[in-house]
Amino acid sequence: MYRILIVEDDRDIAQAIQMQAQQWNFEASCAQNFRDVMAEFARFDPHLVLLDVSLPFFNGYHWCSEIRKTSQVPIIFISSASDSMNIVMAMNMGADDFIAKPFDLNVLIAKVQALMRRSYDYAPSAPVLEHRGALLNTGDGSLFYREQQIELSKNEYRILLTLMRSKGKVVSREKLMEQLWSTDSFVDENTLSVNVGRLRKKLEAAGLNGFISTKFGMGYVIHDVPEGGAS
C-alpha cells in the first residue's frame, strides 16, 4: 500500500485529505510534530508528501528543502498562497506540483495518482467510478459521498455499478435484471423496481438527488451532466 504523509496544520483539512486518501486505498498519516517534520518523515517513510506552505515553527519551503537533502520522494504543495511567486518558489525548492486552496478532494487525489504513476509502478488496486462526487469502489463494493459511506445491498451495488459503467446511456430494465440474475434469487420486474427505489432513497438521503433518472418505457440512466431537479 502506498503511503502519503500529510503535513498540514489545519486539522479539519488534514483529516479530510486523510479520509479521502484512505477511501482510494492509500495509507495516509497526518503530521503531528511541526517542530520536527523530518522525524515524522523518517518514521512513516512515505511514497508522497502533501505539504502546506504556512506551518508552525518552520514553513513548508524549509521542510521541502530538508526532505530533498535525503530523498527524491514526490512532493505536492497545498496552499492558499497560490500567487506565481509562491508557485515558482515551491518548484525551485524541489516540489513536483502545487495545488491552490480551496481545492476539490477528487482533483487532489487525481493529481496524487498521476504523480504516483510517473514516480512508481503504480496502478489503483481496483477501479473507482466517480459521478457528481460519488465514489464507487469496484473492489469492495463501497460507496462514498462527501466523506460518508452509503451502505448498499448486493443488488443495489450491481444496479449502481451497471448504471455508472454506462453513464450517459439508457440501461434497459431487461439488462439490469440480467445483472441481478447472477445472484441466488429470482429477480422479476417488481423486485427490480423495489431495489431501484431503495437505492434512490439512500442516494437522496446522502444528498444525491436525481442521481438516477427514469426513461419511461426504456429503463434508467445516470446523466453525464446532472439534470435540473430530481426525476
Q: How do 75-79 and 48-52 pair as beta strands? A: parallel
Let me know: does 4 contact 48? Beta carbons within 8 Å. yes
Cell (9 digits) for 142: 463501497
Q: Among residues 48, 6, 13, which one has the least CA distance to residue 31?
A: 6
Which residues have a Cβ under 8 Å from the Cβ of 72 and sit 6 or more positions away? none
- Residue 104's contacts (CB-CB under 8 Å, 6 or more residues apart) are none
**pLDDT score for 28:** 92
**For the CA atoms of 52, 113, 207, 189, what is the dihedral angle to 10 degrees?**
-170
pLDDT of residue 201: 94
Distance CA 198, CA 153 (A): 10
Residue 141 pairs with which residues in a beta bridge?
none
| Per-residue confidence (pLDDT) for residue 110, from 0 to 100 | 84
Q: Beta-strand (E) ranges in 24-164?
A: 27-30, 48-52, 75-79, 97-100, 128-131, 134-137, 143-145, 148-150
Q: What pLDDT shows up at residue 125?
A: 55
Tell me the pLDDT of the chain (231 aa) as tens digits.
Answer: 789 999 998 899 999 999 888 888 889 999 999 898 998 898 888 999 999 988 888 888 888 888 888 888 899 998 876 667 778 877 877 788 888 888 888 888 888 888 888 888 765 555 677 888 888 877 777 888 877 889 898 889 989 999 998 888 999 988 888 877 655 455 667 888 899 999 999 999 999 988 999 988 889 999 865 555 433
Q: Which residues pair with 172 in a beta bridge?
A: 219
Q: What is the pLDDT of residue 230?
A: 39
Q: Taking CA 59 as the corner, what is the angle to CA 54 and CA 60, rounded to the nearest 5 degrees?
A: 85
CA trace torsion 75, 79, 85, 87 (10° rounding): 30
- In this prediction, residue 177 carries a pLDDT of 84
Q: 97: which strand partners?
A: 76
Q: What predicted TM-score, i.e. pTM, was given to this entire model?
A: 0.57
- Strand runs (DSSP E) across the chain, as ranges? 3-7, 27-30, 48-52, 75-79, 97-100, 128-131, 134-137, 143-145, 148-150, 171-172, 213-215, 219-221
CA-based R_g, the chain, Å = 21
Q: Give the pairing type, strands 134-137 and 143-145.
A: antiparallel
Report CA 165 to chain centroid distance, whole Å. 17
Q: What is the pLDDT of residue 93?
A: 77
